[in-house]
Each structure stands twice: as C-alpha cells, then as structure tokens.
Structure 1
Amino acid sequence: MDDEKYKIPLFDGTNYSNWKFRMQVLLEKHDLIDYINTPLDVFVRALPAGSADPQAIVMRKKVRKCKSFIIQRIADSHLKYVKEKVTAYEMWQALSESFERKGVASQLRLRKMLLTMRYATTETMVSHFLKFDKLVRELKLTGANLVETDIVCHLLLTMPEEYNMVVTALETLSSEQLTLGFVKTRLFNEKAKRGANVSTKDTNSSTVFSAATKNRKSNVNKREGEVNGKNRARFNFKCHYCGIIEHKRSECRKLKLENKDSESAKAALDDSVDNRKEFVFITKSEEITDSSTCWF
C-alpha cells in the first residue's frame, strides 16, 4: 500500500479526470470500486437475513479502507471537501459534484473550445492529439453524448487549409472505415510526409546557396586582385604627365583629377551663363467670346 500510494499524485484541484481514473484503477485492484459507486445501505439491505451482521462488518471494514485510499491521495488544501463525509461513496460524490463541472454551461464552453481549436503547423501532431483528446474526455464527463463520428468530425475541423486534400479524401470513406484511430494515422503520416519534403527542399536550397556563394567569392577575389595590380605587370617607365614611374599617362591619377575639376568648373560656368530654369504651366479654358486661354 505504501508503494502504491506514491504512484498517484495528490489531488490539488487540477486534472481531476486523470486523478479520478488513477484512483478507479487502484480501487478496482483492491476490490473496492463498488463502494464509491453504490451507497453502503444498498449493500446491507441486499445481504441474506441470517448473515447480515458478519458480512456487514466486513463491508464496513472495506469502506474504511476505501476511505483511507481516497484521503491519502488528496492534498491538505482540498481535504475540506471530504472531511464531513461518512462513507467512501459520499466522499466520491462530493468530489465529482465539485470538480466534474457537469451541466449545459460546461458543455457549451468545451464545445466552443473544440470548434475554435486549430492545429498549428509549428507543433507536433502528437501534442495536438493529446490536447484534442483531453477536451473530448472533459466534454464526456459533463454528460455529453459523443459518438465516434462526432469526434472524428471535430478532429478534421481542427486541421488547417494545408490538409484540405487529406480531409477531402477521408470524407469519401464510409462511417465504418472512418474510425478515430484510422484518421489519426492518416493525419500523422501526412505530417511526416510534409516534414520530409520541407527538409529535402531546405537541403537543396542550402547546397545551391553554398555553391553560388563560393563561386561569387572567387570572382570577387579575382576582381580585387586585378584592381590591386596583383595580376598586372610592372610598368618601369615614367609618366609623360607627372613624371612618376610605374604608370602611363592614360592611368595618371593627377591628370584624371585635374580633368575632373576642369569639367566641374566649366559646367558651373555654363550654368551661370545660360541661367536656365524650368517652369510648369497650368492652363484653364473659360467660356468667353473670343475663346482665349488664361495662363497661371
């Protein structure tokens, strides 16, 4: 018993459905599951007349054992829900009424969450299925009657437009073939296929980019070498303009700079002489006798 109690986390008001499932399995293992589903008085009244007292004592011992299992798995902050209850059945009913949230309001909230739920391509398909299954379980706990076809339809509605072809193919299947497990398998395979295609595309793009970058780098280095004079033979004569060795008159920087300054000065002189300006005129026709045009 000490080993088993640590397998179930203390109930602190969250994930009641998971905690309830674990407790049901534990109580079923110890043949105590009936004492949370049926009041003790019903068991006592069903006993034979001659053996009522001994069997009633045994049942009360089992009820106390069942109560002990439940209390040991509830956190101190939530013991107030079961402190005043006498039997395990009363404890179980108090927890169910407080945390299962049965009713129309809870059903509407969960159904709205299912209808607005969408699969994001950035997350894994497994995590999406887990969140979807959790909503379906909570909806069933509220008392909603969901058949497998309804669940499959809700799951297909969560898929984005990229999966329209798969959804259309699944719609053509009969209700017997369209099981929840089959639909999940098809969607999971489609996700894996899309992931493989994206990975291959990215690899090819990276290879092309790498090759293009390498070729471009070699061409740039070649041009830089030509500009720096690495691939050019040394000129051992004087320039006919400045008298410096290592370049010709046509390559003389001093000559080019002076020519540039001369052209700038000439352009400035021409502009001052011509004094040219541009104007934009707007015309407007008016209905007058001589059909003249007014300029503004």
Structure 2
Amino acid sequence: MALLSEQIGSGPPRFDGNNYHLWAFRMEAYLEPLNLWEVVELDSNPPPLPANPTLNQIKIHDEAKQRKPKALTCIHQAVFEAVFTRIINIKFPKEVWDKLKLEFEGNDRVKSVNLRTFRREFDLMKMKEGESVKEYTSRLLDVANKIRFLGQDFSDENIIEKILASLPMKYESKISAIEESIDPKTLGISELMSRLYAFEKRLSIRNEEDDVE
C-alpha cells in the first residue's frame, strides 16, 4: 500500500456525486499514466506464465496481477463516503466504473434527454446585463463541455459561431473586423477571447474617460 501511495502522489480527483462527467474525464487522465486505465476500461488480465518462467517473467506477471487491486484502491480513494457505500461490495474496478457511470451518467435514454437539455441551454444563452465577455464565454464553454462529456462531438467552430452571433450590439464593430480579417474556421477560441477581452478593456477605459468629462 505504501508503494501505491508513492505512485499516486497527491491522490486522485475526488467525486462527491456531482459533475460526474468532469470527474470521469479527470479520473481517466489520472489512471492512464499509472498504467491502470486499461484494467478499468477493458477488465484485462495478464496472460498466463509460460512453462518454466524466468524470475523476471514471474516478477512482471505479479506486477500485472496487482493492477486491478491498485485501480480499485484508486477509485475507492477518489470517492466520498456517500458514493463509496454504493460500491463497497464490488470487487473489480471495471464493475465499479460501470456502476458509477450508469448511476451518475444514466442510460442511453437519460443521456439523450440530458444532451437535448444542454444543447437547448447552449442555443438560448445570451450575455447578461453587466456580464463580462470572460464570464459569458466561461458559461458557454461549461455547457459545451457537458455536451462533449456525454459523447457528442461539439466543435470549437460551433462555440465561436455562437459567441460571434450572440454578443450585444456594442461588440458589433469588433465582430465585423474579426470576420473580415480572419476565416472563422481557422480562428481559435483562445485567439477570439484575447481579441474580445482587449476590445472590452478599451471600451471600459473609454467609458471611464467619458464619465470623468
């Protein structure tokens, strides 16, 4: 157990029953470099030892056999007590993972409903009064990522088009300049955000100067 603690360092991302899709994404990224994700995803077992194995082959085989218990321990460490009680009697990491996925992500019907809900929320989103570009785009990206976590392809181009089409009129001159100078298909979200942040900052400074006058 001490060796496992050394390997996983500060520990896995914690899951309290909320934002399952984000946790699952982070947990997979956590298990992958530890060489443990395969036994969770595929329930894989090491091949049997050959006849008259060498000491090195025995060592490698024993290490491979420990991957499932290690993966199970990682998942146990990752969940809060309220979630742990639901998986306490499950002995294999893939079964635990599938149980959590079914309970917190839902079956295909539930996923389909959630996808429609998030897609409609995304389509109807508008920038609120007094909201900054950064705050608005953060809300958009949050919903877009929820759609992606449910397994639906959702390109950056869709997000960029939504931003350009839904910003208030005061951004119209900047949007026109961006559309005239850059092909939206080659425009990255980070570059768009940088341009809009700079424009918003200039607007803020100009408004402050007008107030002084």
Give the TM-score of the pair, scaled to structure 2.
Answer: 0.79
Map of 1:25 onto structure 2? 29
200, 203, 208: which is aligned to 2:212? 203
Map of 2:193 onto structure 1? 184
66, 83, 88: which is aligned to 1:83? 88
Say if 1:115 and 1:158, in contact at 8 Å, map to a contact too. Answer: no
The Cα shift of 1:201 comes to 1.1
Q: Secondary structure at the match of 1:4?
A: coil
CA pair 59-179 structure 1, distance change in 2 beyond 3 A: same
Q: Deviations over 1:119-156 (max 9, x none)?
A: 22513332222222111111011121122221211232
CA pair 121-191 structure 1, distance change in 2 beyond 3 A: farther
Tell me whether 1:65 sits opposite 2:70 in the alignment.
yes
Tell me whether 1:146 sits opposite 2:154 in the alignment.
yes
The Cα shift of 1:28 comes to 2.8
Say if 1:11 and 1:74, in contact at 8 Å, map to a contact too. Answer: yes
**Distance of 1:36 and 1:156 partners within structure 2:** 41
**Distance of 1:22 and 1:142 partners within structure 2:** 14
122, 125, 129: which is aligned to 1:117? 125
Say if 1:116 and 1:158, in contact at 8 Å, map to a contact too. Answer: no
Residues matched between the structures, number: 198
The Cα shift of 1:93 comes to 2.2
The structure with more helix, counted as a fraction of residues: 2
Map of 2:103 onto structure 1? 98
The Cα shift of 1:56 comes to 5.2
Map of 2:19 onto structure 1? 15
Map of 1:4 onto structure 2? 10
**Distance of 1:65 and 1:48 partners within structure 2:** 20
Q: Secondary structure at the match of 1:152?
A: helix
Which amino acid counterpart does residue 167 of structure 1 have in structure 2? I
Map of 1:266 onto structure 2? none
**Larger relative contact order (C-alpha < 8 A, sep ≥ 6)?**
2
Q: Which has the larger radius of gyration?
A: 1
The Cα shift of 1:196 comes to 1.0
Which amino acid counterpart does residue 28 of structure 2 have in structure 1? Q
Q: Secondary structure at the match of 2:10?
A: helix
The Cα shift of 1:176 comes to 4.3
Unaligned runs of 5+ in 2: none
Map of 1:231 onto structure 2? none
108, 133, 137: which is aligned to 1:129? 137
Say if 2:21 and 2:150, in contact at 8 Å, map to a contact too. Answer: no
Map of 2:183 onto structure 1? 174
Unaligned runs of 5+ in 1: 205-296
Map of 1:253 onto structure 2? none
